[in-house]
Amino acid sequence: MAKVIYPGTFDPVTNGHIDVVKRAIELFDEVIVTVAKNPSKTFLFSIEERLEMLRESLKEFEKVKVDWFDGLVVNHAKQVGAVGIIRGLRAVSDFEYEFQMALMNRKLAEDITTILLMPHARYTYLNSTIIRNLAQFKGNVSEFVPPIVNRKLKEKFGY
C-alpha cells in the first residue's frame, strides 16, 4: 500500500491545498495530511483548530487521514510508513525552495521521495498568508477556502 504525507502549516487550509490532496489521492492508496507544529512560528489558528478545519474539509475522502508532527518531516514520514512527501508547487518562485528541501530530505532519508504536485491554475496565486490578510480586512474569501475555514476566519476577525 503506497502511502504519502502532505505536510504543511495549513494556517488556514485553502482550496489550493484541497486540490493538491485530490491530485495525490489519484496517485496513492493513502494520503496523510499532516500539520507541522513549529514553535518558532506565530500562527493565526492553533494546531487543534487547523486539525479541525482539515478534518472537516477532507471528510469526504476515504483515502485521507489528518495528523500532526513536531520535528523533521522525513522522520514523520518514516514513522507513518510513507514512501513519499507531497509538496504543492504554485509558481516558479516556489521551485527553488522546494528543490532545496527535496534534496535535503533525500540526503536525510534516501528511501523517501518528494513529489511536487501543481494545483489547478485557478489556485496558483493562493496561499494562506494572502487569505489571512484578505480576511483580516473583511474581504470575501469564500471562493478560496472550504466553508469551515470561511466561518472560522469570520469568527477570528469578528465579523
In this prediction, residue 28 has a pLDDT band, given cuts at 50, 70 and 90, of very high
**Res 93 pLDDT > 90:** no
**How much is the pTM?**
0.94
Phi-psi region of 56 (alpha: psi -120 to 50; beta: other; left: phi over 0): alpha
pLDDT at site 40: 82
* Nearest partner of 88 among 17, 10, 14, judged by Cα: 17
Residue 156, judged by CB atoms within 10 A of its CB (0-12, 13-18, 19+), counts as middle
**Overall average pLDDT of the 64-76 stretch:** 96
Residue 127 CA to residue 39 CA, distance in Å, equals 21
DSSP-assigned beta bridge partners for residue 35? 8, 68
pLDDT at site 103: 96
Instruction: Show the cell assigned to 154.
Output: 469570520
Residue 98, judged by CB atoms within 10 A of its CB (0-12, 13-18, 19+), counts as middle
**Overall average pLDDT of the 7-36 stretch:** 97
**Overall average pLDDT of the 64-89 stretch:** 96
**Overall average pLDDT of the 59-76 stretch:** 96
Structural domains in the chain, sorted by start: 3-157 (3.40.50.620)
Catalytic machinery residues:
17, 41, 90, 128
CA angle 28, 96, 100 (to 5 degrees): 70
What would the pLDDT profile of 95-134 be if each residue is shown by its tens digit? 999 999 999 999 999 999 999 999 999 998 889 999 999 9
Residue with the three cell numbers 477556502: 145
